[in-house]
Chains A and B, each alone.
Chain A
Amino acid sequence: MKTIIQLFLTFFNIGAFTLGGGYAMLDMVEKAVVRKRKWIEKDEFWDMITIVQMLPGVFAVNTALYTGYKIKGAGGAIAACLGAIIPSIAIILFIALFFLDYKDNPVVERIFRGIRPCVVALILSPAVKMFINAKVNWKTAFLSLATVILIYFFHVSPVYIIIATIIGSVGFAFYSQKQLNKLEK
């Protein structure tokens, strides 16, 4: 029980004080669970993170779930997960309460007129980063372009595009493994 409470508090602390979400959080999680508490080995932690990165959903939540589970089973997973999200929800609710009242205030409006174009840049940046990171060639660039056209011009839901991508990727993985097996023979 003590470990479960400690897990909750550890992730609560990280959730309440880490700005910038998922990847900024990783260092703090490693510091807490590997170096400070010595709950799991360093290699074991990073192996797990490699897998967690492939999963859908909020990265911080997944990290909390799997770390919690490794350390203290299902109870640990739930405690860590709750710890990671409760500060977020509480802080945002607090802000939302005020913001919706003040958003038409002329000073607030001026500040946000400046902030909005900055937000656009903040979203554009990871798009370009991801594009470079994907080591795009003409085939994969086609995938990016098709995604843009389908959503922007044809208003296709991103959900359908993701489903199609999973089917395509798994199909391709099976196909290339078959080819590999043939080559080995």
Chain B
Amino acid sequence: MIYLQLFWAYLKIGIFGFGGGYAMLSMIQFEIVEHYQWMTMQEFADMVALSQMTPGPVAVNIATFTGYSVGGLWGSLLASFSIVLPSVMIFLLVMRLLFKNKDNYIVKNSLSMMKPVIAGLIFVAALQMMNADNFTDLGLHGSNISVIICTLSFVGVFFLKINPIPLIIASGLVGYLVY
């Protein structure tokens, strides 16, 4: 049963995963944490961090990781297979059609509303992760180290365009020293 659920969850994400890795990440979060409640927001955040630090596409990494923790070796293979399968099917179906019609007005504008929606989608994923799981010292002794790490990381990645990996390592080091 759990294999069927894994298959279905990741198949949907593979089919409707528009907007790149982070959009898919939000969809995975919804399915795995919110809908099936296979893990907590905290465990999910840990897996995102590890998936960011390892090579390869983040969505495949997360699928493999969550699949493993839900259903062991077969779960992980099934999850990564299911997230890739729609790509292969769509590829077989639309390959010719798409390249022939690439300048068609409707093809070009058929995703016009997608960007603002994806922005909202990813924003919710971040919002939902801002809970007591991930911001452990929220409100304790007036010292909000979690909030400081989050703010500084945001400044680093958004404004200073620092690569996520050194930021994750630095945050881990701060956690080790402070807590």
How many residues belonging to A are interface residues under a CB distance threshold of 8 Å?
94
Given A119-B49, A120-B150, A165-B114, is A95 in contact with B179 using a C-beta cutoff of 8 Å? no
- For residues 46 through 85 of chain A, which have their beta carbon under 8 Å from a beta carbon of chain B? 47-48, 50-51, 54-62, 65-66, 69, 77, 81, 84-85
Query: Interface residue tally of chain B, by bracket?
Result: 35 or more
- For residues 115 through 153 of chain B, which have their beta carbon under 8 Å from a beta carbon of chain A? 115-130, 133-136, 145-147, 149-151, 153
- Check A123 against B125 for contact (C-beta < 8 Å): yes
Instruction: Please name all residues of chain B whose beta carbon is closer than 8 Å to the beta carbon of A177 when the two chains form the complex.
Output: 105-106
Distance in Å from the Cβ of A75 to the closest Cβ of chain B? Answer: 13
- Check A18 against B56 for contact (C-beta < 8 Å): yes
Question: How many residue pairs, one in A and one in B, have C-beta atoms under 8 Å apart?
Answer: 350
Given A123-B126, A148-B120, is A112 in contact with B175 using a C-beta cutoff of 8 Å? yes
Closest residue of chain B to A162 (Cβ to Cβ) is B16
Distance in Å from the Cβ of A112 to the closest Cβ of chain B? Answer: 5
- Check A22 against B120 for contact (C-beta < 8 Å): no
Do most interface residues of chain A lie in helix, strand or loop, or is the interface mixed? helix
Distance in Å from the Cβ of A159 to the closest Cβ of chain B? Answer: 5
Distance in Å from the Cβ of B61 to the closest Cβ of chain A? Answer: 5
- Add 20 more A-B contacts to A95-B65, A148-B120 (CB < 8 A): A15-B56, A17-B55, A18-B55, A22-B20, A60-B56, A62-B87, A113-B175, A114-B171, A115-B45, A115-B171, A119-B134, A123-B26, A126-B22, A126-B122, A127-B119, A133-B115, A148-B127, A157-B31, A165-B114, A176-B109
**Interface positions of B (Cβ within 8 A of A):** 12-22, 24-27, 30-31, 34-35, 42-43, 45-46, 48-61, 64-65, 68-69, 73, 76-77, 80, 83-84, 86-88, 90-91, 95, 98-99, 102, 105-106, 108-130, 133-136, 145-147, 149-151, 153-154, 156-158, 163-165, 167-168, 170-176, 178-179
